[in-house]
Amino acid sequence: MPLGLIAKKIGHTRVYDASGVLHPVTVVLAGPNRVLQVKTQASKDGYNAVQLGFDDQKEHRVPKPLLGHIKKHNGVAVKRIREFRNFSKEVKPGETVGATLFAPGDFVDAIGTTKGQGFEGVVKRHHFRGGDSTHGAKGFHRRNGAIGQRLFPGTVMRGMKMPGHMGQVTRTAQNLEVIQVREADNLLLIKGSFPGAEGDYVIIRESKKRPKGWKPAVSNAPAGKKKAAAAAAPAAKK
């Protein structure tokens, strides 16, 4: 996790890029993130990491053990703390980092918690087809059917899709492009959407599959051969 920030999801809108293309974006408040602690391989911690804090909090609302840890490193009480290993930017405790860690055109991964849906049935939770509405079907329209066996093994198999709690799980949306960085407001405008409701905390990290400097592969074949290959593809399928 070379670069990362704790952020808060603000909302959604649409903006134009430098080429005049309209993009749907998610707006996140990406700072300021306070550097609470810097761990190194040479120290007693035994690994390289940076602890970031986001969203200032009143001291009496922070658990005393956590508040003691923060004050030990001369930090300020915060609502959220996250550790990022192998942070590629050199920082010191007390400094702040924000949206300028990223630039337009960079790709990021967004980690958030999905919206809670409560207790749901198999049709909504697992997209089951459901039973027939006619032909004598009674009381079997949105049920999941048989879940076990008779004599052997006589138990419900592990992993059986059944009704239950839906949502409120951690999910990661990968390879999202940063369209704009608004330094004055500490805002990132990220193309597309990712898990989390408005006002939820999310983690924005440098994309694992498309790190800084990544560019799509470019074929070296001449333009004429490309067109011939594209024209031959439908014929080959037939």
Exposure string for 85-99, b = 16+ CB within 10 A, e = fewer = eebeeeeeeeeebbb
Same domain, residue pair 148 and 172? no
Q: Work out the average pLDDT over 39-55.
A: 92
Q: Do 69 and 179 have their domain in common?
A: yes
Span 162-206, pLDDT tens digits: 999 999 999 999 999 999 999 999 999 999 999 999 999 999 999
- Please tell me the pTM assigned to this model: 0.81
Residues 72, 85, single domain; the answer is yes
Whether residue 47 is found in the same domain as residue 156? no
Average model confidence (pLDDT) for the chain? 89
**Is the same domain home to 23 and 89?**
yes
Confidence at residue 177, expressed as pLDDT on a 0 to 100 scale: 94
Are residues 92 and 13 part of one domain? Answer: yes
Residue 149: its pLDDT value, please? 86
**pLDDT score, position 152:** 86
Residues 173-194: b if buried by 16+ CB within 10 A, e if exposed = beebbbbbbeeeebbbbbbeeb
Q: What is the 3-state secondary structure (H, E, C) of 183-221?
A: HHHCEEEEECCCCCCCCCEEEEEECCCCCCCCCCCCCCC
For tokens 């192998």, the residue is 86
Averaged over 117-137, what is the pLDDT?
93
pLDDT, tens only, 203-234: 999 999 988 888 888 767 666 666 666 666 66
Considering 125, 148, 166, which residue would you say is the last residue of a domain? 166
Q: What residues make up the domain containing 27? A: 4-114+168-237
Domain co-membership, 8 together with 99: yes
Q: With 60 as the cut, is the pLDDT of residue 87 above it?
A: yes
Number of domains in the chain: 2
